[in-house]
Amino acid sequence: MSNNEKAASSATPRHTIALVDDDRNILTSVSIGLQAEGFTTRVYADGASALKACLENPPDLAIFDIKMPRMDGLELLQRLREKSALPVIFLTSKDEEPDEALGLAMGADDYITKPFSQRLLVARIRAILRRVEVARADAAEPAQDDTPTPDLVHRGRLSMDPARHEVRWDDRPVSLTVTEFLILETLAQRPGVIKSRNQLMDCAYNDDTYVDDRTIDSHIKRLRRKFRQVDPTFSAIETLYGAGYSFSEGG
């Protein structure tokens, strides 16, 4: 095993977490903490080496700092998203909040502000991994004649297949992260019905995970941007200021 990978032996498979930060103290402390919780960790001190490793040998989840040499966390996420839907959590400092919002808009699944609680970090990691595992299990499980499968969602020009985690607009594929898929599915299930930010948080995050309004707003912006790459006239996700969001079949 290389010096860049730290793992404790175990009889059961462990989730692998990639940690990317130019602060060696944070890398060491977070890595030790995650290993104590049963994770395997790989550590990288810059974005360039992390990108290569995450594409060639993907971990189960990655945690990126934003301010780093050679390639910062925002560029790293942007380049990763060109080829991978790997779940990503951003670690940000309070004075990096604009970057934090941009990172969520670019496709990060979550963010945590420094200084942070190790317990909170572990809770966020586990919440995201649970969502990913459910999505993968649904897609991999063969259909049985007597076993109901998740209903396909058809709303106007939108179609969603929860079992395969597939989304199409005008029969053209749209690639979404797990969090984005869950938010869109919640909106599309009842067209025209306004869903508050709290309701969308409940559908996309576990009870042990706290997120604020800005997180949901950033995911909505990302959803709109992805659909407008397929259809520049996309307007199916509507905003009612002060109340929340709704899905329009005519959008």
pTM: 0.57
**pLDDT over 90 at 67, yes or no:** no
How many C-beta atoms surround the C-beta of residue 230 within 10 A?
14
Distance of alpha carbon 14 from alpha carbon 119, whole angstroms? 18
What residue type is 185 in one-letter code? E
Q: Mark which of 136, 168, 185 sits at the end of a domain.
A: 136
pLDDT at 201 over 90: no
62, burial (CB in 10 Å: exposed 0-12, middle 13-18, buried 19+): buried
Cα separation of 85 and 81, whole Å?
6
Domain extent for 102? 5-136
Most confident listed range (115-124, 136-145, 154-163, 209-218): 154-163
100 and 36 in a single domain? The answer is yes
The confidence band for 33, taking pLDDT boundaries of 50, 70 and 90, is very high
Cβ atoms 34, 77 nearer than 8 A: no
Greater pLDDT, 188 or 208: 188
CATH code, 237: 1.10.10.10
Query: What are the tens digits of pLDDT across the range 128-178?
Result: 888 787 766 665 555 454 444 457 888 999 999 887 778 999 999 888 877
Residue 193 lies in a domain: yes
Supply the DSSP symbol for 195.
Answer: B
pLDDT at 148: 45
Neighbours of 83 (CB within 10 A): 10
Identify the pLDDT of residue 199. 84
Domain shared by 238 and 127, yes or no: no
- For 207, counting Cβ atoms within 10 Å of its Cβ (0-12 exposed, 13-18 middle, 19+ buried), the class is exposed
